[in-house]
Amino acid sequence: MPGGRGAHRHSDPQALARQRAFVETVGRLAEPLCSAEGMELVHVEYQREPGGLTLRLYLDKPGGVTLDDCVDISRQLEDILDVHTQDAPPYRLEVSSPGLDRPVGKLEDFIRFTGHRAKIRLNTDINGRKNFTGVLAGVVDETIQIQVDNETVSLNFNDITRARLINYNGER
């Protein structure tokens, strides 16, 4: 599970580490539940929003995720999280489908979606840039290759804070 992709703007390394650990725990707890229900856990986000902290899970399955699927997973997951994440600050749980701007958070996803357009944000800059939009061009070790204009840029997977496909229509 990704370590909190898209979920942080903390300058405190300890807070960031706690947040990543929480996201990883949620992923480990949610993955078997989603699999048992015939769904893929696409991505987990945990971030501060205007209404407070939000824990957001994105699910997918062949033919698409329904509202009933989201409600079912949300109800079951709330009980699991109440038992296993008692130390977490209060948050709002949201469960949804990935939509057109599908999050990409697992290393395997960057491989799976090679050839698709994506927007990636880093927590460190490369030549003064933190945001890259282009076509995913593969993965070498833990380095994401993205074709931006006529140049291939190498991005360290661990430096990615947010990555989304652009106008993904469900084709794999």
Question: How is the beta sheet containing 117-126 ordered, strand by strand?
Answer: 151-156, 143-148, 129-140, 117-126, 160-165
Cα 115–chain centre separation: 19
| 150-163 average pLDDT score | 91
Q: Quick: pLDDT tens for 18-35.
A: 888 888 899 999 999 999
Mean pLDDT of the chain: 87
The domains of the chain, with CATH numbers, are 13-96 (3.30.300.70), 107-165 (2.30.30.100)
> Within 11-162, where are the H helices?
13-36, 67-84, 107-112
Residue 172: is its pLDDT beyond 60? no
Average pLDDT over residues 37-60: 91
C-alpha pair distances (Å), 39 with each of 30, 72, 128, 139, 141: 11, 12, 39, 25, 28
pLDDT mean over 68-84? 93
pTM, to two decimals: 0.77
